Amino acid sequence: MGRQRWWWLLTVAVAAVVVGAGAQETCSDIVPAAPRRGAWMSLASFAGGGGGGDGRTLSTAAFQAAVASIERRRAPGGALLYVPPGVWLTGPFNLTSHMTLFLARGAVIRATQDTSSWPLIEPLPSYGRGRELPGGRYMSLIHGNGLQDVVITGENGTIDGQGSAWWDMWKKGTLPFTRPHLVELMNSSDVVISNVVFRDSPFWNIHPVYCSNVVIRNVTVLAPHDSPNTDGIDPDSSTNVCIEDCYISTGDDLIAIKSGWDEYGVAYGRPSSHITIRRITGSSPFAGFAVGSETSGGVEHVLAEHLNFFSSGFGIHIKTNTGRGGFIRNVTVSDVTLDSVRYGLRIAGDVGGHPDDRYDRNAVPVVDSLTIKNVQGQNIREAGSIKGIATSAFSRICLSNVKLNGGAPVRPWKCEAVSGAALDVQPSPCTELTSTSGMSFCTNSL
């Protein structure tokens, strides 16, 4: 492929992320336009012997050599690694700064199912241990730490985690360590992920953690509904995140905002903040949009709008627990369409386990200033529930123009330890949300 051709393709793939699609509102300008990369290289040139891309030959060394070459070359503006059409079987590999990983149409980066090829890395400090099991965790398929200016994009090529072997180990209880993600970038900034299909992740799909200025746009994330913990996109203790125009259908929450786990998240103390989510469509046996349940570093200043969820367990699920500490505040969810969803909304203070028995049982989270508005649902079974914590009631919860209908009468709202207001809500809201004391907050937030 000539340089003019690859530069044109990169421009097409990234331009929509930077300037937005047509007149649609976008947050993607939080990441500056990627500079013109000063070098281009094809993965095929590092494969050797012509065996790469056949779906059988392990290409881990080729990816590692290509990234090392980018680091050594230090081309002006960085370098683009072109993944040609074909199936590139690989173990985990790291990215580097000022790099674009570009998947051509028909290119598949496929994870090996040989677990011995997956290195172990340290647990995240805000979790204190692997999310599933004590000790370390398997490195993500595509990984990076302390990077700047990283782009993963292309012509809708596929990153395939071949997660079934990992799911089977989870179901049988034979996992030795916490499963790997497809992509995890840590302590990184100016990240763009766009125009790529993610399929069958062993665990969470896309996990930016301790990151800033992240755009995830125009991606498709797929996994069977019975695949365990295959969250779509989980921004974690990250700031200035934009997630737009994605289709996600997985076995767990489609998007879940997190910020650390119990005493480890409290000690690390890095919130997730200034996160915008727009135009997401998908299906899950769990939640379409979620916050938590790991929120010990805090979650604030979140806008999620123009969401379309179907055949799901929850439309919106905001969840925490005693022992979490932290806070969830200033969250707005707007313009949501639900179809065949069991619970329209759940805000709960009793969800999720603990990493160990050293968590502070007096560390209760603060949940305050949540606005849920312009929600339309059909084929809904239960309106939902808002259940706070007795010693830390959820406050300033505003529901406005929330209409949830079903083939049979929708089961009513359930509320406990909560205060706020409800305007134009069907079925009729809880009495805890109809007091006049909360109306001014709700009216002002609309």
Q: What is the pLDDT of residue 7?
A: 45
Contacts of 124 (CB under 8 A, 6+ apart): 186, 209, 260
Write the pLDDT tens digit of every residue in 399-414: 999 999 998 899 999 9
Contact by Cβ (8 Å): 410, 429: no
Residue 211: what residue type?
Answer: C
Domains of the chain, earliest start first: 265-349+364-446 (2.160.20.10)
Q: DSSP states of 64-122 as a string?
A: HHHHHHHHHH--TT-EEEEE-SEEEEE--EE--SSEEEEEPTTEEEEE-S-GGGS-EEP
**120-161 pLDDT per residue, tens:** 999 999 999 999 999 999 999 999 999 999 999 999 999 999
Q: What percent of the chain has pLDDT over 90?
A: 88
Measured distance CA(371)–CA(293) in Å, rounded = 18
- pTM score, whole prediction: 0.94
> Between vectors from CA 161 to CA 353 and to CA 179, what angle results, nearest 5°?
30
Tell me: pLDDT of 95 over 70: yes
Q: Is 29 a catalytic residue?
A: no
- Best CA proximity match to 427, nearest among 387, 375, 364, 352: 375
Using alpha carbons only, give the angle 168, 172, 177 rounded to the nearest 5 degrees. 80
291 and 255 Cβ atoms separated by less than 8 Å: no
Going by C-beta distance under 8 Å and a sequence separation of 6 or more, which residues neighbour residue 8?
none
Local structure of residue 427 (DSSP, 8 states):
S
Question: What letter represents residue 247's amino acid?
Answer: Y
User: For 52-66, what is the mean pLDDT?
Assistant: 95
Catalytic residue, candidates 231, 236, 245, 252? 252
CB within 8 Å of 198: residues ≥ 6 apart: 158, 159, 161, 182, 183, 205, 206, 219, 220, 221, 222, 232
